[in-house]
Amino acid sequence: MNRRSFLLLTATSVAATPTELVGAFANAPSQSLVSPTSTGAWYVAMRRCGQINYNERDPLTMDAEAWGDYWASLKVDAVLLNGGGIVAFYPTQVPYHHRSEFLGNRDLFGEMVAAMKRRQIHAVARMDCNLAYEEALKAHPEWFERNQDGSPRPHGESPWLFATCMFSTYFTEQMPAIYREINQHYPVDGFFTNGWPSTGSLRVCHCENCRRVFEKLGGVPPAETDSANPIYRKYYQAYMDRVQEIWRLWDNIAREKSSQCVYVGNLGGGLDTVKDLKQLSQVAAWFNADHQGRSGETPIWSCAQQGRVAYSVMQGRATTNVAGAYSNAQPNWRHVSKAPAELTLWLAQTAASGMVPWFHWLGGSPEDTRWREVGRSFFDWLAANDAHFRNRHTIADVAVLYPQRTVAFYSRPESQRPRHRGGPIDYLQGLYYALLEGRFFFDFVHEGNLDAATLRKYRALLIPNAAYLGDAQCGAIREYVKDGGSLLATFETSRYDEWGDLRPDFQLADVFGARVAGEVIGPHGNSYARMERQHPVLEGFQGTSLLPDAENRVPVRADAVPLVLSVVPAYPAFPPEMVYPRTPRTTEPAAVFREIGKSRVAYFAGDVDRTCWRSGNSDLSQLLRNAINWVRGSDPLVSVQGPGLIEAFAWETEPGYALHLLNYTNPNATHGSIRGTYPIGPQQVRFRIVEGHAVKSVRALRSGSTLKFQQQGPTVSFDVPGIADYEVIALA
Ligand SMILES: [Zn+2]
């Protein structure tokens, strides 16, 4: 369980909904909130980070010096240490700040801070603002979230704790009092809040504060977080405003002592972010992604995706990701280690995608210590090769739109979900898998950053069903294509505005060369796409005239574009006697491929990306890869040829360039936990560097070997003999 699922657990009785904050916070400016002092700050230069998350009982047994030695052995720049919030681990004087009942005469927090400082490690106070004891509830009923009947919200597993309300003075008075007390008495370098604000669903509260908020918005708390509800729309922005207001308040309090002291909130959650990351990034001097591990059907690459999402808004500013060393799967085991191969690959993805790893254990007196060496060996290696992880920017020729509004609002809530809609990240996940199989070098571009300056560096923009897309974003895409950029888009992209109001046609109909001709059809299996003529997108499909088609499609007309793939409508799949096409041939396009000047545009009317992800169909992946290849064009900036399923990142670094290769060739890539490593064989690399640069050495940093290479003009070619779990090739 990561912190986000923890938050969700605590909200079991809560219909996540909207409210908006009005009053002092409603009109708060939402730009340029990052402290100007953040450049040159210690957390900007931070390379490795640790966290020991101790519990109420730990003051009885915890050895601060031993922990100091362990973290020093990992060569970390900072350690997160539990200060207070729910439980104070020091002798607090703030009323209703519950001291650990096992604290006795100890000042565990103070000892831990001192142990880190003796070892020249920065100390960050890890706080929790989400829950408090009944004593506080009795004294300050206004601090707490309420259900519709006025009852407080006890925690699901620890019902003696109650959820606090973000709109109350608990956040503007009580937490600040605690931060100031800690800042006054301890040489801390920052504050971090567990579980807040998170990127998960919004909570709707019925406390007095929140009722006033809703009154000012002109309504009552809605039962569900549905963007079709006008009150939810207002609430969403008011909620985001409140988060930014609190974040700035706490950052300012942290900096009262020193401009180097920072507040960092808790973000992350992989692809699925309900809160607007672009807005949050505007207040965050430091973005911590709390994406500690995976469970169920979450693919191994979820951590790398987190890195790409974070980079799309932070653009290289301080970003960390928490790796849980304990077994945080489903079910969850807090006090035993995660499989070493899984944990190492999670740390590797963190580093490869440009984030700083934050290694996390829970419990001050562990009985399982197997995780320690996993972190130590990885951090040792990172420290020894530190310069090559100092990135300047990514090297990528393809942009993938991160469709924030669609991810946040499409197909929620479940009770009102049209049948043709799956989870909103399925589209991106299907495209992503094809991008990995095709070994493309790509960046995510957050919807809030869709402009000519951002898109200029990419040859093609890929849009995985950005159904909810604003006019301004559509305008930027249109301009990009007009200026020679290429485009791939799927399904309902631009069919709705940014809140989900249906438009009469795709806003991008002119760009797609396709117009809506009816309501979405599906979900249907056993429907097909017929290949009507030769096209580069259809390469490799010899031996068939039919391809599988998507489960859902928008019927479209594309009269001015030659028909390449036509729809064969679904027909019965059972019983076998009935399995024949009732309409074997139509003129309805399953996809539209067109060239306008230098631009190539591929539009798929079906949800091929989502269907590919859910079915695992290899033809659909091939079709997507072909289409990406076609829109990007030949001669990529970087190419890696060889066996295996890998994810690749290329960076321009301080010493030169780095190529990161993550080996996902594993039976547990898309389920459960990596149990062992399956090395893959040689990879042929061509890497385009800046014109005029001469590479002097190419080294494989994990295997510690020097590679032979050739340079012809800006192209450097070399073979990587093999990859175990992760390899980094440094060109200097
Ligand atoms: Zn409230």
Residue 618 domain flag: yes
Residue 218 domain flag: yes
From the CA of 498, how far away is ligand 1's center (Å)? 27
- Among 632, 660, 681, residue at a domain's last position: 632
From the CA of 168, how far away is ligand 1's center (Å)? 6
Q: Do 457 and 574 sit in the same domain of this protein?
A: yes
- Looking at the chain, the whole-number percentage of residues with pLDDT higher than 90 is 89
Is pLDDT at 428 greater than 90 in this prediction?
Answer: yes
Residue 284 CB contacts under 8 Å (≥ 6 apart), including other chains = 34, 247, 264, 265, 267, 314, 317
For 324, phi and psi rounded to 5 degrees?
-75, 120
From the CA of 231, how far away is ligand 1's center (Å)? 16
From the CA of 166, how far away is ligand 1's center (Å)? 7
From the CA of 237, how far away is ligand 1's center (Å)? 16
**CA 472 vs CA 238, 462, 477, 497: distances in Å:** 22, 17, 9, 10
Say if residues 144 and 153 touch (Cβ distance below 8 Å).
Answer: yes
From the CA of 210, how far away is ligand 1's center (Å)? 4
- Residue 222: what pLDDT? 84
- Residue 586: what pLDDT? 98
Q: Which residue has the higher pLDDT, 359 or 9?
A: 359
Is pLDDT at 36 greater than 90 in this prediction?
Answer: no
Give the number of other CB atoms < 10 A from CB of residue 24: 10
From the CA of 416, how far away is ligand 1's center (Å)? 26
Inter-axis angle of helices 64-73 and 108-118, to 10 degrees?
40
Say if residues 216 and 149 touch (Cβ distance below 8 Å).
Answer: no
From the CA of 287, how far away is ligand 1's center (Å)? 26
From the CA of 206, how far away is ligand 1's center (Å)? 6
Q: Do 138 and 77 sit in the same domain of this protein?
A: yes
From the CA of 146, how far away is ligand 1's center (Å)? 6
**DSSP labels for 362-406?**
E-SS-S--HHHHHHHHHHHHHHHTGGGG-EEEE--SEEEEE-HHH
Residue 601 domain flag: yes
Q: Do 113 and 248 sit in the same domain of this protein?
A: yes
From the CA of 167, how far away is ligand 1's center (Å)? 6
Domain residue limits at 703 = 638-731
**DSSP labels for 197-261?**
E-SS------SHHHHHHHHHHTS---SS--TTSHHHHHHHHHHHHHHHHHHHHHHHHHTTT-TT-
From the CA of 213, how far away is ligand 1's center (Å)? 9
From the CA of 414, how far away is ligand 1's center (Å)? 24
CATH, residue 686: 2.60.40.1180
From the CA of 246, how far away is ligand 1's center (Å)? 14
To the nearest whole number, what is the mean pLDDT of the chain? 93
From the CA of 143, how far away is ligand 1's center (Å)? 8
585-629: per-residue pLDDT in tens?
999 999 999 999 999 999 999 999 999 999 999 999 999 999 999
Query: Measured between alpha carbons, how far is 578 from 558 in angstroms, rounded to an integer?
Result: 32
From the CA of 359, how far away is ligand 1's center (Å)? 34
Is-cis flag, bond preceding 575, omega within 30? yes
Q: Do 288 and 405 sit in the same domain of this protein?
A: no
- Among 632, 649, 679, residue at a domain's last position: 632
Give the number of other CB atoms < 10 A from CB of residue 329: 19
From the CA of 423, how far away is ligand 1's center (Å)? 29
From the CA of 292, how far away is ligand 1's center (Å)? 29
From the CA of 54, how far away is ligand 1's center (Å)? 29
From the CA of 439, how far away is ligand 1's center (Å)? 47
Query: b/e string for 271-286 if b means 16 or more Cβ within 10 A?
Result: bbbbbbbbbbbbbbbb
From the CA of 648, how far away is ligand 1's center (Å)? 44
Query: Strand, coil or helix: what is 66?
Result: helix
From the CA of 120, how far away is ligand 1's center (Å)? 41
Chain-centre distance of CA 104, in angstroms?
A: 41
CATH, residue 356: 3.20.20.80
From the CA of 532, how far away is ligand 1's center (Å)? 59
User: SS3 string of 624-653?
Assistant: HHHHHHHHHCCCCCEEEECCCCEEEEEEEE
Residues in the chain: 732
Assign 226 a pLDDT band (cuts: 50, 70, 90): confident
Q: Do 243 and 347 sit in the same domain of this protein?
A: yes
Residue 389 domain flag: no
Residue 585 domain flag: yes
Where is average pLDDT lowest: 35-44, 186-195, 217-226, 673-682? 35-44
Say if residues 409 and 499 touch (Cβ distance below 8 Å).
Answer: yes
Residue 283 domain flag: yes
* Section 66-91 average pLDDT: 98
Query: Measured between alpha carbons, how far is 317 from 46 in angstroms, rounded to an integer?
Result: 11
From the CA of 140, how far away is ligand 1's center (Å)? 13
**CA 707 vs CA 210, 580, 658, 685: distances in Å:** 62, 57, 13, 11
From the CA of 27, how far away is ligand 1's center (Å)? 19
Q: Do 425 and 308 sit in the same domain of this protein?
A: no
Query: Strand, coil or helix: what is 580?
Result: coil
Assign 40 a pLDDT band (cuts: 50, 70, 90): confident
From the CA of 203, how far away is ligand 1's center (Å)? 9
500-536: per-residue pLDDT in tens?
999 999 999 999 999 999 999 999 999 999 999 999 9
From the CA of 385, how far away is ligand 1's center (Å)? 48
187 burial class (0-12, 13-18, 19+ CB within 10 angstroms)?
A: middle
* Nearest C-alpha neighbor of 247 from the set 193, 312, 301: 193
From the CA of 163, how far away is ligand 1's center (Å)? 10
* Section 58-83 average pLDDT: 98
678-702: per-residue pLDDT in tens?
999 999 999 999 999 999 999 999 9
From the CA of 641, how far away is ligand 1's center (Å)? 55
Q: Do 462 and 480 sit in the same domain of this protein?
A: yes
Query: Measured between alpha carbons, how far is 239 from 147 in angstroms, rounded to an integer?
Result: 18
- Residue 39: what pLDDT? 64
- Residue 422: what pLDDT? 58
Helix locations, 459-568, DSSP H: 471-482, 509-512
Query: Measured between alpha carbons, how far is 440 from 320 in angstroms, rounded to an integer?
Result: 25
From the CA of 25, how far away is ligand 1's center (Å)? 15
From the CA of 91, how far away is ligand 1's center (Å)? 29
Q: Do 301 and 347 sit in the same domain of this protein?
A: yes
From the CA of 176, how far away is ligand 1's center (Å)? 18
From the CA of 145, how far away is ligand 1's center (Å)? 5
Q: Do 500 and 515 sit in the same domain of this protein?
A: yes
Q: Do 406 and 372 sit in the same domain of this protein?
A: no
Q: Bridge partners of 346?
A: none
Q: Do 627 and 644 sit in the same domain of this protein?
A: no
79-101: per-residue pLDDT in tens?
999 999 999 999 999 999 999 99
- Residue 595: what pLDDT? 97
Assign 293 a pLDDT band (cuts: 50, 70, 90): very high
- Residue 419: what pLDDT? 45
From the CA of 169, how far away is ligand 1's center (Å)? 10
Name the DSSP letter for residue 454: H
Where is average pLDDT lowest: 32-41, 203-212, 552-561, 655-664? 32-41
From the CA of 155, how far away is ligand 1's center (Å)? 16
550-585: per-residue pLDDT in tens?
999 999 999 999 999 999 999 999 999 999 999 999
* Nearest C-alpha neighbor of 89 from the set 138, 128, 140, 130: 128
From the CA of 259, how far away is ligand 1's center (Å)? 32
Say if residues 461 and 487 touch (Cβ distance below 8 Å).
Answer: yes
From the CA of 338, how far away is ligand 1's center (Å)? 37
From the CA of 214, how far away is ligand 1's center (Å)? 10
**CA 9 vs CA 12, 168, 289, 361, 537: distances in Å:** 5, 21, 19, 21, 45
Inter-axis angle of helices 340-352 and 302-314, to 10 degrees?
20
Q: Do 372 and 418 sit in the same domain of this protein?
A: no
Chain-centre distance of CA 398, in angstroms?
A: 18
- Residue 38: what pLDDT? 53
CATH, residue 626: 3.40.50.880
Residue 390 domain flag: no
Name the DSSP letter for residue 576: G
Residue 533 domain flag: yes
From the CA of 86, how far away is ligand 1's center (Å)? 18
From the CA of 19, how far away is ligand 1's center (Å)? 9
**Enclosing H/E stretch for 194:** strand 190-197
Count Cα neighbours of 284 within 13 Å in the Cβ-side half-sphere: 31
- Among 341, 357, 384, residue at a domain's last position: 384
From the CA of 43, how far away is ligand 1's center (Å)? 33
Compute the 3-state secondary structure of the chain and give helix, strand, coil in percent, each to the nearest 5.
30, 25, 45
What domain count does the chain have?
3
